[in-house]
A and B are shown apart, each in its own frame.
Chain A
Amino acid sequence: MSGGPVGVEYTGVRELRGPLVVVEGVREVGWDEFATIVLDSGERRHGLVLDVDRDLAVVQVLEDTAGMARTGTRVAFAGTPLRIPVGPGWLGRMCDGRGEPADGGPPVLGDTRAAVGAAPINPVRREPPGEPVLTGVGAVDVLTTLVRGQKLPVFSAAGLPHLELAVQIAAQATCAGEAFAVVFAGMGLTHADAEFVRAGLAARAAARDLVLLVNTADDPVIERLLTPRLALTVAEHLAFVVGRHVLVVMTDMTAYCEALREVSAARGEIPARRAYPGYLYSDLASLYERCGRIRGRPGSVTVLPVLTMPAGDITHPVPDLTGYITEGQIVLSAEVHASGAYPPVDPLSSLSRLMRKGVGAGRTRPDHPAVAAQLTAALARSRQVRELADLIGRPALSPTDQRFLDLEDVFRRRFLAQGTDENRSMDESLNGAWDVLLTLPRGELGMIPVDLLDTRTAAREKESP
């Protein structure tokens, strides 16, 4: 990541505070410009201009200010906001959180450069999303289908296998044979987790379908503010210019938000909820809203942010504001996890708002919308019955309610549970859903058209006479 041509160097460092350096005597330095900082030792660091006031510039240093002094520090400004090379050269590469190669290869080059803070997509030029991205994970494909151009987060908590799920989706996702790529942005991952991601996605990287950017937990915190922007900038070019369908996985967004809070605190900004800055919503939106499709252009950007809810609290600002921006959510539950089922998706609090446009005949399978709706409704009833059973005991339930009581268990065993390397086809997943539904009396499947039910029950009777 080079910052373009380097102009005048300034040496007047007035103040160093947290990740910020205040440079004095600057002229014609623009807001949001990219800066290169050279230390006495010759070490190069990078930064972004947060504030320019007459001849003072406040620069946020991506690598932290450790070791910087008022003397011997030289700062040069690029003259433009940060631009990075984009293009297919990124495919198959593994880089750190600033886009510097971490795979021993040469720096990533591209014939085109793009600003990392992209211009928003014109709402009237957006094409409403309408086809699925298949992940090979049954619970996601059937109940919360990911639609091309959608932003669908995974809400998790500490100790749950969200990273396994994110890697599995990144490794398996496809778009019905159309050109596809995954951009995986890791923020604040431990080294063990980073290694897990690299190993899990090695095949995808070898096929040159993957861009991997990883900022580890001991990498500079402020660098995390850049990582998702790099990922999205690379993805946008691969989608709207190269014409691929791109899935951007960003994990862990909570680590990103903490970095944002750290900069905000260092600047002395007025804090809002839980000391996160008041612009957290807009900042997250500037990332998540970069998904979509554009009329008349090939490709799509689908965004799958993963975040851990601190103390499992869904009203915490990070999941709360994310939920207000994204089009649904996949919620992982500690209770399902404790039952031993992977992926521990809670089907009732999970939702894909764009699903109804992305499934059905010609997209997944004609019976998909009815099966998904019926399964969700039946699981909701199952949970109600379980609460009732806790109060009055199983024997007091009606025979139908007893079948419902067992449904959630059957659902977890026969549908939800799947191996972390098991890639299920849409047919297998939907058939699994049918297996669960057909444990109920036929009269309880009112949301499924009668002709569909007839074909299914006939097929089953043939299998097991």
Chain B
Amino acid sequence: MTASGRASAGPADGEAGRRAEPGTPSDRSRDEPRPRILRVTGPLVEIACPPSVAMHDVVLLGAAGLPGEVVAVDGDAATVQAYAYTGGLAPGHPARPQGHPLTVRLAPDLLGGVFDGLLRPLAGAGDLLRGGGSAAAPERRAWPFTPRVSRGARVAAGDVLGEIGAHVPLRLLVPPDRSGDVDRLAAAGEYATDSVLAVVGGHEIRMAQHWPVRRPRPAGGRLPADVPLHTGQRAVDLLFPVARGSTVAVPGGFGTGKTMLLQQIAKWCDADVIVYVGCGERGNEMADVIEELTELTDPRTGGSLAERTVTIANTSNMPMMAREASVHTGATVAEYFRDMGLDVVLIADSTSRWAEALREFASRMGELPAEEGYPAGLASQLAAFYERAAAVRTLSGASGSVTVIGAVSPPGGDRTEPVTAHTERFVRCLWSLDRDLAYARHYPAVSWADSFSRDAAALAAAHARGGDPEWLPRRGRVARLLAEADRLADLVELVGITALPPRERVSVLAGRLVREAVIQQNALSPGDAYSAPEKTSALVAAVLAVLDRCLELVDSGVRADAVEAVDFTPLLRARESAGPAETAAVVAARDQVLARLRDAA
């Protein structure tokens, strides 16, 4: 189908290509044909172009200049994946190679903003998105700057030049590819993001810097990930903890509360900066999370939670290939803040939609499909994405981290499908969401049987250093109680609870208390939406103390019926009645139940 077209279009373009200078279309002499479009099918556009066009170079397509990226070069033709709706684009329309890869502008004003997959601000882009986000720079706001080096000092890549006053402590760094003497440095004061704050080795340095999204930003080296990230979700912090700089996948069918769990973590985890990538998800949900983040107060800084969050919103009906770029954009933004010595959490909801964009494009390119139509490179692309997570020593010697949490949406809840199966191999933690738990309205529906955390051992050591040597045994006991209760539940269904020996009946009770008093969490309750480490420990300790007492009672001959009949309500209500970081109310609830047990004896 393409043969005749190629023959007529090929040679002329080859001539033009060798002389053309990409990136400076105006310099081209008038008689040379310009690079132009040969083929359009959805987001795949083929262009005739000069041989100097490199892989991953940005190309602006058509009169409207729709952005796209070169993904293949074949002779005088290049294949471009377009990041916008290509309706109306026709063969013969112009194409303008830009001579540089897809690059984003990184600046302090990303915090609190909402962007599309190419990091173009969505505020001010109009009610309907005809060509993606607005190209306009975000509102000009002045940021306080305090210099931290003196003029004439010799600085290397990544060194701190000064501090930028924001809710999050930001820094002005020497860009990774620059070094030299500080020729000029601005005095303390307020500056716009685009004003020149320093001149280093003859290069102007501004708050706003640019970086290609597909190239990981350099760091001084990787550090072991052994500092816990407190997510505020007990099911996770207690059973499947994650370290700063680690990776997590959250697989779950629809309706299992994936997005809810990720939003809770975005709101309450104790990272410095959150990068939330809504990748092929629901528009109303994005609107909701944006509104809530603005309204909620950050318990640590007192500012609004939005001020520590960068939101990349690429809903399922926005151009599909921008979805593919959005996870890399998110990773680049996360690394930018990491390099300032901050702990960043990158949340991608959902990586399955990103993988679908890869599949869609591979299919249009005519690549040979591997499993279920996904390209053979799926596994390596997933692995490369998760590898952008790390705890690092920055170029200037500070420590920072990027933790990646990716949602996975297995079709039909089938955990053997390629995206889930591959992702499981590359991540350090898996929080598997269970449909039965969600169906029973047990939230967060993190399955204790199908999840894992390979960080647990390292974090146990960290907890021990931090003065909590009991953390690992406590976790082990809770996990065993849950497993034992599950095993007995099958038996109870067959023979009834009364047929069990007393200690086993207490085990069944233990499962219920651990599930309902500790693991479950009500995202809508102000006291329970997040749980500080001390409250989580107090709740576990309270339940274990009550259970120990129950065991003593049945061992001393008290009937199991009598123990089961005790009203445990204060213990079950403690997680909601106590504040997010309150332990006194939990202890009081424990004592109340212990007193009732004494009466029952």
The CA of A24 and the CA of B413, in the complex, are separated in Å by 45
Q: A30-B87, A124-B114, A281-B356 are in contact. Are A51 and B40 (CB under 8 A)?
A: yes
Q: Which residue of A lies closest to B372 (CB)?
A: A272
Complex interface: chain A residues within 8 A of B302 (CB): none
Distance between Cα atoms of A285 and B284 in the complex (Å): 13
Contact (Cβ within 8 A) B411 A273: yes
Least Cβ distance of A425 to chain B in Å? 27
Using known A-B contacts A32-B88, A272-B359, A278-B373, determine if residue A54 contacts B4 with beta carbons closer than 8 Å.
yes
Q: How far is the CB of B196 from chain A (nearest CB, A)?
A: 31
Give the complex CA separation of A28 and B36 in angstroms.
12
Query: Which of these, B9, B41, B373, contacts A272 with CB under 8 Å?
Result: B373
Interface: A282 (CB within 8 A): yes
Candidate in B40, B369, B372, B494 with the most chain A CB atoms within 10 angstroms: B40
Question: Which of A117, A128, A290: most chain B CB closer than 10 A?
Answer: A128
Query: Is A53 touching B316 in the complex (CB atoms < 8 A)?
Result: no
Q: Are B373 and A271 in contact (CB under 8 A)?
A: yes
A285 to B286, CA, bound (A): 15
Asked if A128 meets B288 with Cβ closer than 8 Å, knowing A54-B2, A55-B4, A271-B373, the reply is yes
Q: How far is the CB of B79 from chain A (nearest CB, A)?
A: 12
Cβ-based interface call for B128 (8 A): yes
**B280 to A282, Cβ gap below 8 A?**
yes
Contact B88 A121 (CB under 8 A): no
Q: A80-B88, A81-B88, A279-B320 are in contact. Are A121 and B360 (CB under 8 A)?
A: no
Are the C-beta atoms of B122 and A124 separated by less than 8 Å? Answer: yes
**Contact indicator B286/A54 (Cβ below 8 Å):** no
Among A150, A278, A281, the one with the most B-chain Cβ atoms within 10 Å of its Cβ is A278
Chain A positions 289-329 with a Cβ under 8 Å from a chain B Cβ: 289-292, 294-295, 297, 315-317, 320-321, 323-325, 327-329
> Min CB distance, A89 to chain B, in Å?
22
Is the CB–CB distance between A123 and B40 below 8 Å?
no
**B283 close to A (CB within 8 Å):** yes
Q: Which of B126, B280, B313, B440 contacts A380 (CB 8 A)?
A: B440
Assess the A122–B128 pair: CB atoms within 8 A: yes
Does chain A have a CB within 8 A of B460? no
Q: Which of B89-97, B238-246, B527-535 contacts A (4 or more CB under 8 A)?
A: B89-97
Known: A121-B127, A125-B126, A128-B291. A281 touches B316 (CB 8 A): yes
Q: Mark B276-317, 1 if CB is under 8 A from A, else 0.
A: 001010111111101100000000000000000000010111
* Residues of chain B with a CB closer than 8 A to A115's CB: 87
Inter-chain contact total with CB atoms closer than 8 Å: 204
Smallest CB-CB separation from B130: which chain A residue? A119
A33 within 8 A of B: yes
Complex: chain B residue closest to A273, CB-CB:
B411
Smallest CB–CB gap between A112 and chain B, Å?
14
A402 to B441 CA separation, bound complex (whole angstroms): 23
A31–B87 alpha-carbon span in the complex (Å): 5
Interface check B490, CB cutoff 8 A: no
Q: Does A122 lie within 8 Å of B411, measured CB to CB? A: no
Cα–Cα, bound, A50→B283 (Å): 27
Cβ contacts under 8 Å, A279 to chain B: 320, 356, 360
Per-residue B-contact encoding for A254-290, CB less than 8 Å = 1, 0 else = 0000000000000001111100001101100110011
The chain B residue with its CB closest to the CB of A56 is B1
Residues of B within 8 A of A327 (CB): 282, 284-285
**How would you classify the secondary structure of chain A's contact residues: helix, strand, loop or mixed?**
mixed
Once the chains bind, are A120 and B128 in contact (CB under 8 Å)?
A: yes
Knowing A273-B372, A285-B316, A294-B127 touch, does A54 contact B90 (C-beta < 8 A)?
Answer: no
CB neighbours (8 Å) of B291 from chain A are 128
Interface positions of B from 1 to 22, Cβ below 8 Å from A:
1-2, 4-6, 8-9
CB-defined contacts of B494 to chain A, threshold 8 Å: 391
A351: interface (CB < 8 Å): yes
Tell whether, in the assembled complex, residue A52 and residue B290 are in contact, meaning their CB atoms are under 8 Å apart: no
Q: What 1/0 mask marks residues of chain B from 22 to 44 whose CB sits below 8 Å from any chain A CB?
A: 00000000000000001111100
Which chain B residues border A120 with CB–CB below 8 Å?
A: 128-129, 283, 315, 317-318
Q: Is A129 an interface residue (CB 8 A)?
A: yes
8 A Cβ contacts from B80-122 to A:
85-93, 114, 122
B269: chain A residues at CB < 8 Å are none
Determine if B123 is an interface residue (Cβ-Cβ < 8 Å).
Answer: yes
Q: In the assembly, what is the distance between CA of A52 and CA of B93, in Å? A: 12
Pick the most buried of A120, A325, A328: most chain B CB atoms within 10 A of its CB.
Answer: A120
Asked whether B6 lies within 8 Å of A54 as measured between CB atoms, the reply is yes
A290 to B411, CA, bound (A): 23
CB <8 Å contact, A52 and B91: yes
Are B287 and A315 in contact (CB-based, < 8 A)?
no
| Distance A325 CA – B38 CA, assembled complex (angstroms) | 35
Contacts of A53 in B (CB 8 A): 1-2, 5, 38-39, 41, 46, 91
Is A234 an interface residue when CB atoms closer than 8 A count as contact? no
Would you call A278 and B126 a contact (CB within 8 A)? no
CA distance A392 to B492 in the complex (A): 12
Which residues of A352-408 are within 8 A (CB) of B? 354, 356, 376-377, 380, 391-392
A131 to chain B, nearest CB (A): 13
| CB-based contact B315/A317 at 8 Å | no
Task: Kindly report which residue of chain A lies nearest to residue B291, judged by CB atoms.
Answer: A128
CA distance A297 to B394 in the complex (A): 48
Known: A22-B1, A123-B287, A351-B255. A28 touches B91 (CB 8 A): yes
CA distance A24 to B316 in the complex (A): 34
B284/A128 in contact, CB under 8 A: yes
Q: How far is the CA of A316 from the CA of B412 in the complex (A)?
A: 7
Contacts of A442 in B (CB 8 A): none
Instruction: Assess the A31–B283 pair: CB atoms within 8 A.
Output: no
> Are A55 and B91 CB-contacts (below 8 A) given A123-B283, A325-B316, A327-B284?
yes
Contacting pair A121 B91 (CB below 8 A): no
Q: List 23 A-B contacts (CB under 8 A).
A: A27-B92, A30-B88, A31-B88, A31-B90, A32-B88, A33-B90, A53-B1, A53-B41, A54-B2, A55-B91, A115-B87, A119-B129, A120-B129, A122-B128, A123-B283, A127-B287, A282-B280, A286-B316, A295-B127, A315-B414, A324-B254, A354-B284, A391-B493
Q: Given A31-B41, A122-B125, list of 9 further CB < 8 A pairs?
A: A54-B8, A55-B8, A119-B85, A126-B286, A128-B284, A271-B373, A272-B373, A289-B316, A320-B411
Q: 7 tightest CB-CB pairs across the interface, nearest first? A: A54-B5, A315-B412, A285-B316, A289-B317, A126-B287, A32-B87, A31-B40
Interface of A toward B, CB cutoff 8 Å: 22, 24, 27-33, 50-56, 58, 80-81, 115, 117-129, 149-150, 240, 269-273, 278-279, 281-282, 285-286, 289-292, 294-295, 297, 315-317, 320-321, 323-325, 327-329, 348-349, 351, 354, 356, 376-377, 380, 391-392
- B residues with CB within 8 A of A: 1-2, 4-6, 8-9, 38-42, 46, 85-93, 114, 122-123, 125-130, 254-255, 278, 280, 282-288, 290-291, 313, 315-318, 320, 353, 356, 359-360, 363, 369, 372-373, 409, 411-414, 439-441, 493-494, 496, 524
